[in-house]
C-alpha cells in the first residue's frame, strides 16, 4: 500500500517564482549522489552451487546482526485453478513441523535466541527470510533448511491453518478494497493466471487435502533457481559455506514451468460492481496492464506513476480528486510489475454517491498524463525523490538484502544500484510521457467497484 505522505514539496522561493528555469536547474543539481559506497560487484560475493542455488553475500560488521532473504521458483503459477491457494497453503505449513523438530520446538528455538524466521507463498515465487545474531546464522539456516526441505505437514496443524485461511477469506469477502481488487484482476486478465487469487477461495481451500499439500511440496520445492542473500556481520565465504552445508546436498528437481501467457490490452472499458451491504465507503479500482520489471521503460513508468498518484499527498490524483473536489478519502496509483506484467492501477476510497464523478475525474487525469508532458518541475522533484531515497533504503541490512535479491531475481546486474542514479537522471519529459502512453489507455481499461449500492 502506498503511504499517504511520501515526501513534502519544497516551498518555491520568490526568486524561483520569478525565474522557474533557475529553480529547475537547482533541483537538477541537487540529485548528484556518490554511489561508490553502494553495494556493487566489488563487495557482493556471488556463488552458484552445483545444485543451482545462487548465494549472494555482503559483509557489514557495523552491528552484530545478520539478515538472510531467499526465494524459490514455486508459487501460484504451479497450482491448478481448481486448487487456487495451494501454494500459499503449502508455504504456511512449512513452519508447523518437520522431520527434526516439532512445531513447539521450532518456535522455542527461534525465540530463545531473539531471532525471526518466516516463509510465505506468492504467485511466481515463494519467499523466506530471517534475522539473528551472526553467531546464530548456522542454526537459523539449519531451521530454514529443515522447514523448506523436510516438512511433515502435521494433520492437526493443517486443519488449524485451513481454519485460519478460511477465516481470512470470510473477512476478505467484506473488505471493499480486497473485493474490488479481485474483480479488477478478473476483468483485466481474462483467461490468464493473474485473474486467479493466490490466496484461494473458500471452495478451493476447503477441498485441498493434506496429501495434495505434501505432493505439491514434493513436486515443486527444489533448489534450482533458488536465491539466498546474506548481509551482515559474517565473512562472505563463511556465509556461502553455511548455505552449502545446509542446502548443498539438496538434489530435488521440479517440472519445467510453462511460460507465462501474454497479457494483452483489453479491447474496451470493462466494469463490474461487487455489492457489499452495510458499508459506508466504496473502493474504486481503475487501470490497465502495466510493465514487468524487465521492460526497458519500467523506470520511466515508475517515475511518471509517482507524479501521477504518489508524490506528496498522492500526486496529481490526490490533488484533483481528493483535495480540489473532495471526492475521495484517498486516491493513489501504483505499478506492481515484477516477473510478469502487473497492473498499473488507480485506487480510490469514495462515498458511494461520488463513484461516477470520481471515476470521470480519474479518467480525465489519465488523458492529461498521456496528452501532455509532465512539467519540468514535476520531473525534477520526482527524480530528486527517487535518487534521494535510495541511500535511506540501504541503511539497514534488511534493505540491502532485499535490494540484492531483487537485482538477482530480475537480472538487473550487481552494479545496478551504482548505475541507478544516472539512469533516473537521464529520464526526460518525453520518455516519461511515452511510458504513460505505452500502458495507460483512457479508452480501454478495467474498472471495479466494491461497496454498498450507489
What pLDDT is attached to residue 5? 27
pLDDT at 27 over 90: no
pLDDT at 188 over 60: yes
Strand order in the sheet with 270-275: 270-275, 446-451, 282-289, 343-350, 328-335
Mean pLDDT of 210-227: 97
| Domains recognised in the chain with CATH numbers | 45-247 (3.30.830.10), 262-451 (3.30.830.10)
Contacts of 81 (CB under 8 A, 6+ apart): 196
pLDDT tens digits, 274-296: 999 999 999 999 999 999 999 99
Burial class (CB in 10 A: 0-12, 13-18, 19+), 298: middle
Assign 13 a pLDDT band (cuts: 50, 70, 90). Answer: very low
Other C-beta atoms lying within 10 Å of the C-beta of residue 129: 21
Range in 99-108, 140-149, 308-317 the model is least confident about: 308-317
pLDDT at 6 over 50: no
Mean pLDDT of 101-110: 98
> pLDDT exceeding 90 applies to what percent of the chain?
87
* Whole-number Å distance between alpha carbons of 171 and 116: 27
Mapping DSSP to helix (H, G, I), strand (E, B) and coil, where does residue 82 land?
helix
What pLDDT is attached to residue 324? 85
pLDDT at 19 over 50: no
Other C-beta atoms lying within 10 Å of the C-beta of residue 110: 19
Mean pLDDT of 145-161: 98
pLDDT tens digits, 311-347: 877 789 988 988 888 888 899 999 999 999 999 999 9
Mapping DSSP to helix (H, G, I), strand (E, B) and coil, where does residue 388 land?
helix
**CA-angle at 174, arms to 168 and 177, nearest 5°:** 95
> pLDDT exceeding 70 applies to what percent of the chain?
93
Q: What's the mean per-residue pLDDT of the chain?
A: 92
Q: Grid coordinates standing for 188? A: 483485466
Hunting for cell 535510495 — which residue is that?
Answer: 390
pLDDT tens digits, 404-444: 999 999 999 999 999 999 999 999 999 999 999 999 999 99
Distances (CA, A) of 352 to 174, 330, 333, 432: 16, 14, 20, 34
pLDDT tens digits, 351-390: 999 999 999 999 999 999 999 999 999 999 999 999 999 9
Q: What is the dihedral of CA 130, 135, 136, 139, to 10 degrees?
A: 120
Assign 31 a pLDDT band (cuts: 50, 70, 90). Answer: low
pLDDT at 72 over 80: yes
What pLDDT is attached to residue 351? 94
pLDDT at 33 over 90: no
Long-range contacts of 385-391, Cβ-Cβ distance < 8 Å, separation of 24 or more: 385/6, 385/7, 385/306, 385/311, 386/302, 386/303, 386/306, 386/424, 387/31, 387/33, 387/420, 387/421, 387/424, 387/425, 388/31, 388/33, 389/7, 390/33, 390/38, 390/417, 390/420, 390/421, 391/33
- Closest alpha carbon to 415 in 34, 56, 36: 36
What pLDDT is attached to residue 311? 86
Assign 32 a pLDDT band (cuts: 50, 70, 90). Answer: low
CB 113 within 8 A of CB 139: yes
- Closest alpha carbon to 142 in 23, 248, 58, 237: 248
- Closest alpha carbon to 304 in 435, 424, 443: 435
CB 440 within 8 A of CB 432: no
Mapping DSSP to helix (H, G, I), strand (E, B) and coil, where does residue 334 land?
strand
Mean pLDDT of 11-37: 49
Burial class (CB in 10 A: 0-12, 13-18, 19+), 396: middle
Amino acid at each position: 500500500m502506498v503511504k499517504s505522505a511520501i515526501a513534502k514539496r519544497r516551498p518555491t522561493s520568490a526568486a524561483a517564482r520569478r525565474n522557474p528555469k533557475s529553480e529547475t536547474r537547482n533541483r537538477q543539481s541537487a540529485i548528484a549522489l556518490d554511489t561508490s559506497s553502494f553495494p556493487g560487484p566489488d563487495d557482493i560475493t556471488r556463488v552458484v552451487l552445483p545444485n543451482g542455488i545462487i548465494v549472494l553475500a555482503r559483509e557489514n560488521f557495523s552491528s552484530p546482526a545478520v539478515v538472510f532473504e531467499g526465494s524459490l521458483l514455486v508459487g501460484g503459477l504451479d497450482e491448478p485453478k481448481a486448487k487456487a491457494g495451494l501454494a500459499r497453503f503449502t508455504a504456511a505449513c512449512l513452519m508447523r513441523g518437520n522431520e527434526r523438530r516439532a512445531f513447539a520446538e521450532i518456535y522455542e528455538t527461534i525465540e530463545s535466541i531473539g531471532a525471526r524466521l518466516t516463509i510465505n507463498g506468492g504467485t511466481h515465487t515463494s519467499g523466506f527470510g530471517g534475522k539473528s545474531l551472526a553467531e546464530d546464522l548456522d542454526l537459523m539456516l539449519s531451521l530454514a533448511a529443515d522447514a523448506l526441505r523436510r516438512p511433515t505437514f502435521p494433520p492437526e496443524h493443517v486443519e488449524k491453518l485451513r481454519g485460519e485461511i478460511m477465516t481470512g477469506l470470510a473477512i476478505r469477502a467484506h473488505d471493499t478494497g480486497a473485493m474490488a481488487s479481485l474483480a479488477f484482476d478478473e476483468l483485466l486478465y481474462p483467461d490468464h493466471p493473474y485473474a486467479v487469487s493466490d490466496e484461494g477461495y473458500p471452495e478451493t481451500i476447503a477441498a485441498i487435502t493434506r496429501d495434495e499439500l505434501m505432493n505439491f511440496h514434493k513436486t515443486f520445492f527444489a533448489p534450482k533457481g533458488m536465491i539466498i542473500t546474506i548481509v551482515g556481520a559474517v565473512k562472505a565465504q563463511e556465509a556461502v559455506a553455511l548455505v552449502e552445508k545446509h542446502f548443498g546436498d539438496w538434489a530435488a528437481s521440479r517440472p519445467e514451468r510453462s511460460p507465462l501467457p501474454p497479457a494483452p490490452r483489453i479491447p474496451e472499458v470493462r466494469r463490474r460492481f461487487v455489492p457489499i451491504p452495510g458499508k459506508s465507503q466504496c473502493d474504486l479500482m481503475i487501470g490497465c496492464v502495466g510493465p514487468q520489471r524487465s521492460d526497458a521503460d519500467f523506470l520511466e513508468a515508475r517515475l511518471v506513476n509517482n507524479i501521477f498518484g504518489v508524490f506528496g499527498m498522492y500526486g496529481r490524483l490526490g490533488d484533483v480528486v481528493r483535495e480540489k473536489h473532495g471526492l475521495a478519502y484517498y486516491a493513489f496509483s501504483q505499478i506492481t510489475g515484477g516477473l510478469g506484467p502487473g497492473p498499473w492501477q488507480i485506487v480510490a476510497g469514495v462515498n458511494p454517491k461520488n463513484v461516477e464523478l470520481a471515476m470521470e475525474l480519474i479518467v480525465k487525469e489519465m488523458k492529461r498524463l498521456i496528452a501532455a508532458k509532465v512539467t519540468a518541475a514535476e520531473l525534477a522533484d520526482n527524480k530528486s525523490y527517487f535518487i534521494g531515497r535510495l541511500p535511506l533504503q540501504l541503511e539497514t541490512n534488511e534493505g540491502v538484502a532485499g535490494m540484492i535479491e531483487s537485482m538477482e531475481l530480475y537480472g538487473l546486474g550487481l552494479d545496478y544500484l551504482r548505475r541507478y542514479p544516472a539512469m533516473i537522471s537521464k529520464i526526460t519529459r518525453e520518455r516519461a510521457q511515452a511510458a504513460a502512453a505505452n500502458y495507460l489507455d483512457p479508452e480501454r481499461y478495467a474498472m471495479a467497484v466494491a461497496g454498498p449500492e450507489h
